[in-house]
Structure 1
């Protein structure tokens, strides 16, 4: 006879959605440093997606693939479809759903007893493609379909640079912590942080960036909002680099 534990590692479980959500609530990463949208919207949304995927018997890699499809659809529309209000709303919806599913694959892996190196690799590769592709698609879309000043195209290119450096730094930080025996983010404590810190980090939240594309049909509105988010991300990087260097300097030699 198949036990519940055996089923949770592969087959669809005999658990209802509510029971699965309750189990997922105990398999969450800490919220330290998490921006407002990621903390209170995206992670709960990802929890629902993970519970639905668990009930359907989907693997974490399958959820990652679905996330990639939604994100790639939104990115492709930015580069290939002339801006309009419906198009902007569709892009924002695709990116937000892709982000929610991106939160779901890790939660699903933890619920099933842990992920695999291949699954982690796939998740990070999709994230890397998203980081680069999104901003390049913005530059392409603005160039093809709008009459913005050519200097405006430097905004998505600069945003791309900042996001790539942040992504690389975060991956490198985790690798060095693991290499030198320090706790990684996944192994760290699950302490909660004050709401004020989450609010302050809101402009750097990918979820906010995803929702900003709802204004893509109105270039005069979208460009200032997008540029402000890019500036906030740049300021975050400047401050974070100092903090991260100090953390790396304290690692055991």
Structure 2
């Protein structure tokens, strides 16, 4: 029987003991997970999670902190006038919010496991973030960018749709796999660096970094448009693969004794 960690037992360990515990208990990253999320965000989140755990914060507390940083950034993006300082501030707030988003699950692991309500809250906050971020770009483009063609406004609108569909499809994948193949073995294939690098434009951390260019609207718009195209192409390819995966789940269900 696995003993659930308690605050009393945690008090006898140092902060770095807690970090090491998290490191050894870290879930393996998906085979093609983009590099920023794996090598930067997850590691920063680990240090934040260790601190939050030792302060007695719950996973929901950490999710709320993530939401505050993230939605402050989105609000500033929507109402502020584009500038270099605003771009750097938006990037930092989004990046910190993203790190705390990684930390909440790690805090749950330290406390012995998460809860359905915590997972629900985490996903709801993520869904709001994913949609409103691109709508904030739409507002600032319409209000402040010297656009020569209003067709450029279709880029953040399209990005909103792509991000929402991607998020929903990935959540649905997990739900259907848990329902139809709960005993299927977890893939032990090694991480593919090539596949990971190809997914770099879809990494939320890269999108956050792009806002540093807000002080140069044409440069930001160019990079943002390239990220949108890359994400749309990636989604198109991923949907085909995910549909084939779901088809295989159906075959497993039919042939199950």
**TM-score w.r.t. length of structure 1:** 0.92
Q: Is the contact between residue 78 and residue 139 of structure 2 (CA under 8 Å) also seen in structure 1?
A: yes
Structure 1 spans left out of the alignment, 5+ residues: none
- 1:41 alignment counterpart: 40
CA-CA distance at 1:112 after TM superposition: 1.1
Q: Which runs of 4+ in 1 moved over 4 A?
A: none
2:145 is the counterpart of 1:111:
no
Q: Using the alignment, how far apart are the partners of 1:44 and 1:183 within structure 2?
A: 30
How many equivalent pairs are there? 247
CA-CA distance at 1:55 after TM superposition: 1.2
- 2:206 alignment counterpart: 208
Q: CA RMSD in A?
A: 1.8
Which stretch shows the higher mean deviation, 147-156 or 85-94? 147-156
2:54 is the counterpart of 1:55:
yes
2:234 is the counterpart of 1:247:
no
CA-CA distance at 1:26 after TM superposition: 2.2
CA-CA distance at 1:170 after TM superposition: 0.6
1:223 counterpart (206, 221, 224): 221
CA spacing shift, 1:109–1:245, aligned 2, 3 Å: same
- 1:145 alignment counterpart: 144
Q: Is the contact between residue 13 and residue 54 of structure 1 (CA under 8 Å) also seen in structure 2?
A: no
**TM-score w.r.t. length of structure 2:** 0.91
Task: Within 5 Å, give how 1:92-111 maps onto structure 2.
Answer: 92-111=91-110
Q: Using the alignment, how far apart are the partners of 2:130 and 2:206 within structure 1?
A: 14
- 1:178 alignment counterpart: 178
2:93 is the counterpart of 1:71:
no
Q: Using the alignment, how far apart are the partners of 1:176 and 1:74 within structure 2?
A: 34
Q: Using the alignment, how far apart are the partners of 1:35 and 1:52 within structure 2?
A: 26
CA spacing shift, 1:147–1:132, aligned 2, 3 Å: same
Q: Using the alignment, how far apart are the partners of 1:126 and 1:24 within structure 2?
A: 24
- 2:134 alignment counterpart: 135
